[in-house]
Homo-oligomer: A and B are copies of this chain.
């Protein structure tokens, strides 16, 4: 450990330092950190059952590697500096670029298809606003090395399954396909204006249809604007309209092709595995500002659509083209953990758990501490999370402490003055009911039946 002099400095002798964190950064107190940890554990568990494996990469990398193909806006937001060796380094701002470098660097040791999840901090020097931080956790999962519809489906299935695992069953995953849209725009001879069209379509929910129509007419004329809006609307906004919408887009795009066949295949998987009710074909999902080339998707909480997508992603053509010659196709998604946590809080799906302690042993006298420790030890051996209050403070203080840790049960230990026998009393700290003369085994059975 370091030579950090924590002891021995009397605060009266030196000026106290005001403790504070940087703008856009935050501490996580136990309740919030537990909440985040439990969420991540459930997500991780689901990822693992689908065959995904974890990796890790450095927080700090060569700026040249991280920023090669970023635009000026990304560069402005990166935490970048010169290290002690004069190297131009930066904190990673996402987990995708590091993954691309990772795959290129380790391609001899990897296998394909390679399915990885990575849940870790990233840093962006954005203007801090409500709900927007400079340090936050990203939760990415990707399958690389396969063009198959099976992996497109698997990612979609896993998105649904992971949210279900954390207690969110009412989700709608809205998907679309960039290839079909590109083909449609080509048919309208609007390929060179695709960025503007995508940008306008992205604005639909914000500015409304009339405004978007007006701007599309300005860009492409009234007839094409009408076709674009007809495309975007599809044939209905429910899961049952999937194939009707697909047929509609196929007609507008000029007929059947690999891209529409892909969507049919994905739909067949979803229908036959009984999960199609969670998915809607929504042509307004374009994720136009990203590098996707195939299926794209966003995920909404049915009870709280206003917070936006909690999990977005899609298929891309080539992950690591900057670093290696071989093409590595892939499909992936990213869960917005902060937004998801905020949504769960609003929906009241958070437990408010403040510790993992099942039962505490109160301290009525310092002399009996050995008995308390033996009791706690015996309970832990039986799989019960148990801790001892360490000092003989007044009971109200100990109850207050137990409440702050959301501990449900408490034990008081008494020793019979004559026989010297130890007697345990178990108290339900919520109802205040007590059970006298109870054994450690009985306590364990009561707490974790």
Contact = CB atoms under 8 A, between A and B. Distances in A.
Contact of A150 (B94, B121, B357, B369): B369
A248 interface: no
A129 to B, nearest CB: 16
Interface stretch (A106-114, A210-218, A219-227, A409-417): A106-114
Interface string A95-117: 01100111011100111110110
Interface stretch (A167-175, A285-293, A428-436): A285-293
A333 to B, nearest CB: 10
Interface stretch (A2-10, A200-208, A237-245, A299-307): A2-10
A360 interface: yes
Interface stretch (A314-322, A337-345, A418-426): A314-322
Copies of this chain, tallied across the complex: 2
A44 to B, nearest CB: 8
Contacts of A65: 17, 19-20
A69 B17 CA distance: 11
A258 interface: no
B27 A386 contact: no
A6 B111 contact: no
B321 A11 contact: yes
Contacts of A389: 113
B96 A4 contact: yes
Give the interface size class of chain A. Answer: 35 or more
B291 A4 contact: yes
A27 B106 contact: yes
A56 interface: yes
- Among A2, A7, A34, A50, residue most surrounded by chain B Cβ atoms (within 10 Å): A2
B20 A34 contact: no
A57 to B, nearest CB: 5
Interface in A70-102: 70-71, 73-74, 76, 79, 81-85, 87, 89, 91, 93-94, 96-97, 100-102
Contact of A9 (B104, B322, B370, B391): B322
A193 interface: no
Contact of A4 (B14, B70, B116): B70
Nearest to A135: B58
A6 B69 contact: yes
Contacts of A313: 1
Given A1-B334, A37-B54, A81-B81, 13 more contacts: A1-B287, A2-B94, A12-B325, A22-B89, A23-B85, A27-B58, A30-B55, A53-B354, A79-B84, A113-B390, A146-B391, A154-B390, A161-B380
